[in-house]
Amino acid sequence: MSEAARRQRAEDSRILTEAECRQILERAHAMARGGGDTGVSIKSWWQGELRWARNRASLSSDRRNIEVTVIRKTSSGNQGSVVINQVDDIALEAAVRTAERISLMRTGPSDPGFVPKVPEYVRPPSAPIWSEATVGLDAGTRAEVARKMIAPAEAEGFYSAGYLEVRAAAAATYTTAYRDLLTGEYSPVENPYIRWTQAQCSNTVRDATGMGSGWAGLSSYDWERIGSESDALAERAVQKCKASRNPVALEPGRYTVILEPQAVADLIESLVTLLGASGHRGRESAENPLMEHPFQLGYDNATGLMLSKMGLKVVDERITIEHDPMDPRLGIVMSPLERPGPVTWIENGVLKRLGHNFNTGIEALDGINGLHQLRGGTGYRMSGGDTSMEEMIRTTRRGLLVTRFSNIPALPLDSSSMLTTGLTRDGLWLIENGEITRAVRNFRFTESPLFMLNNVEQIGEAVPVFRPTKKETGELTPAIVPPIKARDFSFTSLSDAV
């Protein structure tokens, strides 16, 4: 077998094909006993990575895994499930037997299913989320990319540290039945087989004294988009390291800030998660209110419901935040129950929609349109403007240029205002009379993304940013975000971080 053929065979075996997933279901069905329904949920993934530090590779690996959930549901609706990572006959049959025993041991009320029945709609193909270039980035090619990232730093006497990860994943769920409480009938639900890729590269450059630091990174489903920028990423990290050396200390306080796109994405992460995941949960009352959050308007005595700020202006009118699974620049893996088409959370500063759970979307909202459901951490696009970074700097009398933020906690300090904290990182500079004059020691900030989005002065062009995956399955979480110039950003203390 030729080297090319061996490589192709290895690539083909990295994740399960649709035919292989169907075969697992058929085998599980054949092993089942006693009637009822048999379902399988199948995930498979492969990851290749290379990490380096101090200009030398420290880790290179290729990993893959399979996760199969076998579900057995009795005719009365009781359900049992087992998760396995082997699909040979012995392991699969053992999982089916165990799931059957669990379902028969259930003594509580049966699963009522979804009420009412899930509406049917035509599901168009999603935007591109698969890249052969990503799957084809083998260990040797990854090493060459790392060398290109390290070389500019080494030439300057700096140290480069970073990582490069490429992933491919597939998922499918077959014939898991849910009972319609109105008719008593079981309806099979089949989530189509879907596969996707993810690539990400991050590079941090430090000087020998540890007093200068520069960073650059990018993520996408398509390695070609990152590979074409790899030289620029390496050079940007080196130049930021050079410019950040010998920082001076400034007094904490409120400053005009120019946030690079990465800094904007870091700061509004919690806001996007809140918009999509927990903004609306249905019939809240005074006894069962929403958790405190900034879009809570108050309790209405007439209806007995907790009101939200939907339809009201919540941020600057130039701000629009939307989620569009069909956007080819994003590359989002659609939720199996997600309605195709864009979902606009904030439009021209006005709150238009909040996330909700599935039952609320079907029962309490607007039927099929209620399926607009954004799981926390998925992709989004934020509107941009036409002001360049150079123009933002030129028109700033005194302010700070921020590369990015770090150490932002998952939960805000105050949920009603989304006040949060964190550190500046990898480059902070003082701007005086329209020019960058010196590097500045890092600050701890205490600020709300909503406060920042209400103090906007200028907005630049929205561009893709580094937003790495947070799950081993490689779920895509892309973002397109602009740079923003905002006033009165609160820095509360100095930080020793570089």
- List Cβ neighbours of 429 (8 Å cut-off, separation of 6 or more): 243, 244, 400, 401, 436, 437, 438, 439, 440
pLDDT value of position 129:
86
- Specify the DSSP element, H or E, that contains 192: strand 186-206
Is residue 142 a contact partner of residue 48, using CB atoms and an 8 Å limit?
yes
- What would the pLDDT profile of 160-216 be if each residue is shown by its tens digit? 999 999 999 998 887 655 545 445 555 555 567 888 898 999 999 999 988 899 999
Longest dimension (CA), the chain: 80
**Number of other CB atoms surrounding residue 72 within 10 Å:** 27
- Closest among 216, 213, 203, 211 to 160, alpha carbons compared: 203
Is residue 63 a contact partner of residue 46, using CB atoms and an 8 Å limit?
yes
Residue 290 clears pLDDT 80, i.e. is over it: no
**Number of other CB atoms surrounding residue 313 within 10 Å:** 14
Q: Name the DSSP letter for residue 291.
A: P
Q: How far apart are CA 45 and CA 474, in angstroms?
A: 8
Residue 219 clears pLDDT 50, i.e. is over it: yes
Q: How far apart are CA 462 and CA 116, in angstroms?
A: 41
Domain ranges of the chain: 3-206, 247-498
- List Cβ neighbours of 104 (8 Å cut-off, separation of 6 or more): 74, 78, 80
Is residue 359 a contact partner of residue 115, using CB atoms and an 8 Å limit?
yes
Is residue 349 a contact partner of residue 313, using CB atoms and an 8 Å limit?
yes
- pTM, full prediction: 0.84
Q: At what angle do helices 89-105 and 18-31 cross, to 10 degrees?
A: 60
Exposed / middle / buried, residue 57 (Cβ in 10 Å: 0-12, 13-18, 19+): middle
Determine what percent of the chain is predicted with pLDDT higher than 90: 53
pLDDT value of position 137:
92
Q: How far apart are CA 408 and CA 424, in angstroms?
A: 10
Listed range (92-96, 155-159, 177-181, 313-317) with the worst mean pLDDT? 177-181
Q: Please, what is the average pLDDT of the chain?
A: 82
- Specify the DSSP element, H or E, that contains 152: helix 139-155
Q: Indicate the pLDDT class of residue 498, thresholds 50, 70 and 90.
A: confident
pLDDT value of position 338:
58
Cis bond upstream, residue 116 (ω within 30): yes
Residue 130 amino acid letter: W
CATH of domain 3-206: 3.30.2290.10
Higher pLDDT, 355 or 27: 27
First to last CA, the chain: 51
pLDDT value of position 371:
41
Q: How far apart are CA 461 and CA 271, in angstroms?
A: 20
